[in-house]
Structure 1
């Protein structure tokens, strides 16, 4: 059994990890940390039943934790995670970081985006970006994964293969994404309260969202040239899910591009390219580790439209983190991960 620690387990991504890992046959969660709830069980605080219900939250003590685990999931704020990751990595413990601290190769971009200086530039060089379907071979060999953001996962999965194959133009890419409120994390702010969100729909951080530089870096790596992305996120009055609509210029016919993307992902369990004319829905991926993608073309205007959907807490965060853990330990990629959606 793989001995697991979850550092920062009382937020949405940490709780989702616990929920998903309950169905993983090769895992034993040994440590869950929370400064706020230290000394209390998961049953007491969050009403858990099942395998992990009587686990006590602990205050984070990296030295003591390192003696009990083989892998840690870091569900910590960006800037805080890097030091914790470096400690566990030096102890020979595998690290999957759900913050942004190890997503970027260009640390100048990271510092500008997050207003944080990275203290471990040499470790950044060893980290692998955890977009599972694209970087699986690298993930299998690393001890440190920077788990992607939720919006980037929904946009990079359809775009990277097409850019690498020169099937779309990269001079103008526009992405318009809608996310459920859990994407903002578990925090008390008026902006995300029920009456502020219910029966409303709004854009936010237009042209300034911090996932934009992350996506531009990965798209530029795939292209070999600088790629610019116009990205606009929106807040949906739902708990979970992301739907991204991406506007690009095709270099080939819709049919050829569809065939290429379908063939590229045919052996990838968790990415489904829908038949032409199909519309992906949040209800089809809610509660699963799937990303579903559909392709359309506006021939009169010479534009392609790509729509992707995923569950932001699973494929966009904790599920992809477990998928990466499976790769790192040589396990089947889909082990312990849900495939059937929660329709209601």
Structure 2
């Protein structure tokens, strides 16, 4: 069986850990390079004892250096790095002939001015923006298969964009009436020391954050605008909930088309999608059914009193919202089965 040599850059965070877990067991991926400046010299099994006994668990972390990464023989690099940092490595690794799947926000936006507005700094690699493919496999599979640089979508955007796109494309909802409230587990904030993320601060507590302008709004509005054929501006409020992982999003929008077409539009879009599970009218997505998987569950309903469609979705923020989706794109760009290394329940 053919395999592809893989590097994971920034492999010690929660997303990096999930990438490692999936890639170590992927039948067509050979992990040859993992980087972490703080953990250079340690093996995977030393830093993450859960991997002890897994093939490749003796691989040692190295400091991130583009020449050394390329010398490892890696053909594809996953970047699990903060925005602003990822672009530098993407540029260097592309120059050395690697294909890159970036899990940061650096290449998700088409407009560098929007990037600067939402991320507070000029875009670090403007020349690559036109080449980058927004890696939502259910929507851009053909482009992903030919890509050299994939911008893997954010966790919140995946849970919001997928339910909305079919309805916007069919003109079934008013694009200017969209309101979303989402809840995410604490791992979504990253693996870092911060008082608001301590157990005693998060446990038995729910709170909104990044109000009123979460950074993910930029890519959500971009993709919805493309689908609607007009500029979409929406309201989005994220909440932190006391779970390790999982995202639950509830989106509503004013119905302007035929109610009977809503379910049909979702089925037409996703009946053949490997990782979208449609729950139908009245189905309420539950994070317990998607954590540790690459599935996104989508249900919907109609509120007759307000004339609004309700879209209900759930995913794992580290799975379909990050590492799993990136590997799904890797499978497509490598010509492997889309489900290779990912069919877990």
Q: TM-score, normalised by structure 2?
A: 0.96
Aligned positions, number? 340
Q: 1:30 to 1:203 in 2, by over 3 A?
A: same
9-18 or 331-340, larger mean C-alpha shift: 331-340
Tell me, what secondary structure is at the counterpart of 1:328? helix
- For 2:200 and 2:259, the matched residues in 1 are separated by 42
Determine whether 1:270 maps to 2:275.
Answer: yes
Q: Say which of 60, 70, 86 aligns to 2:75.
A: 70
Q: CA deviation at 1:119?
A: 3.1
**Correspondence for 1:103:** 108
Question: How does 1:58-207 map onto structure 2 within 5 Å?
Answer: 58-67=62-71, 68-207=73-212
CA distance in 2, matches of 1:300, 1:118: 45
After TM superposition, give the deviation of residue 263 of structure 1 in Å: 2.1
Aligned equivalent of 1:329: 334
Q: CA RMSD in A?
A: 1.0
Asked if the contact 2:84–2:124 (Cα under 8 Å) also holds between the matched residues in 1, the reply is no
TM-score normalized by the length of structure 1: 0.97
Tell me the residue number matched to 2:230: 225
Query: Is the 2:145–2:333 Cα contact (8 Å) retained in structure 1?
Result: yes
| 1:216-269 deviations in Å (ceiling 9; x for gaps) | 111111112110110000001000000000011122343321122112101111
Contact 2:172–2:258 under 8 Å retained in 1: no
In the alignment, what sits opposite 2:34? 32
Distance across 1 between alignment mates of 2:28 and 2:315: 25
Deviation at 1:91, TM superposition (A): 2.0
Q: Where does structure 1 lack aligned partners over 5 or more consecutive residues? A: none
Pairing partner for 1:286 from 275, 282, 291: 291
CA distance in 1, matches of 2:146, 2:251: 32
- State the distance in 2 between where 1:173 and 1:276 align: 19
Measured after TM superposition, the shift of residue 171 of structure 1 is 1.4
Asked if 1 retains the 8 angstrom alpha-carbon contact of 2:99 and 2:149, the reply is yes
Secondary structure (helix, strand or coil) at the match of 1:209 reads coil
2:8 paired residue number: 6
Question: What is the CA distance between 1:66 and its match in structure 2?
Answer: 1.1
Asked if the contact 1:154–1:242 (Cα under 8 Å) also holds between the matched residues in 2, the reply is yes
- Aligned-partner Cα distance in 2 for 1:244–1:183: 14
Compute the displacement of 1:6 (Å): 0.3
State how far apart, in whole Å, the 2-side matches of 1:315 and 1:86 are: 25
